[in-house]
Amino acid sequence: MDTAISDDIKALLRKCSVATLSTQLFKRGLRQTVMQGVRPLSQGPEPMVGEAFTLRFIPAREDLDHVGVFADPNHPQRKAIETVPPGHVLVCDCRGDARAASGGSILLTRLKVRGVAGFVSDGGLRDSPEIAELGFPVYFGGPAPMLNLARHHAVDLNQPIGCGGVAVFPGDVLVGDGEGVIVIPRHLAKEVAHDAAEQERLEQFVIEEVRKGAPVIGTYPPKEAALARYQEWLKRQPKG
């Protein structure tokens, strides 16, 4: 894997909505980037941004998946909790099956304490009312009191997976807000961050214009007159 995504790029991405980022990826020909059936449960003090560390589950098998497996320190789920690097997002491939948990309050509390950036799963979560109070970014497929062994068998870490219908490669950049989660291919993160930040600035200007009574036609997208007003508007904005 190449060098880490810089803090400056992560800071830019935190200022951009998933909606805006999806537009920028769409312009680059990428349409399968926003996870489906994965919704926010808990939010942190700022939008979730982090590089993907992945965990894959396959369907459970009764002779293999019993509560005794959790005593093994190399059990992939337990190992993931303790080895996902701080600042990364743990992403779980549960095949879109939310009938059983892919984690619970103890494991997610551990992730928060370890400085992990967030947790994303297209499976369920148990203890979801408690997790909702953690103040830690969590996205999931739905509440699921049943433990994961009833439906899921953890098999490997940090391999390409699918989550919410989106391909996730280790090191891809995940951004999550109140609408959902988007996956940005790692090599595009820098240019997407800069272009999305510019789009956010332009749309802030546009919404102010619309609130003042401007019509959408000629304002969004802006034609020459609106672009001239935008340039004047930019000069009045605080720097930084």
Average pLDDT of the chain to the nearest whole number: 95
Largest CA distance in the chain: 70
For 152-193, the DSSP string reads EEEEEESS-EEETTEEE-TTPEEEE-SS-EEEE-GGGHHHHH
Q: What is the DSSP letter of 141?
A: S
Architecture of the domain made up of 32-184: 3-Layer(bba) Sandwich (3.50)
What are the tens digits of pLDDT across the range 137-158? 999 999 999 999 999 999 999 9
What are the tens digits of pLDDT across the range 192-209? 999 999 999 999 999 999
- Is the pLDDT at 214 greater than 90? The verdict is yes
Query: By the 8 A CB rule, do 53 and 174 touch?
Result: no
Using 50, 70 and 90 to split pLDDT, how confident is the model at 2? low
Burial tier of 221 (Cβ tally within 10 Å: 0-12, 13-18, 19+): exposed
Q: Rounded mean pLDDT of 202-231?
A: 96
- Pair of tokens at residue 117: 């950036």
What are the tens digits of pLDDT across the range 43-56? 988 999 999 999 99
Q: Rounded mean pLDDT of 207-233?
A: 95
Which spans in 7-104 are helix H?
7-14, 18-27, 76-83
Query: By the 8 A CB rule, do 182 and 25 touch?
Result: yes
- Domain definitions of the chain by residue range: 32-184, 192-235
Residue 4 has a pLDDT of: 77
Residue 240 has a pLDDT of: 61
Strands, E assignment, 71-172:
88-93, 118-121, 124-125, 138-140, 142-143, 152-157, 161-163, 166-168
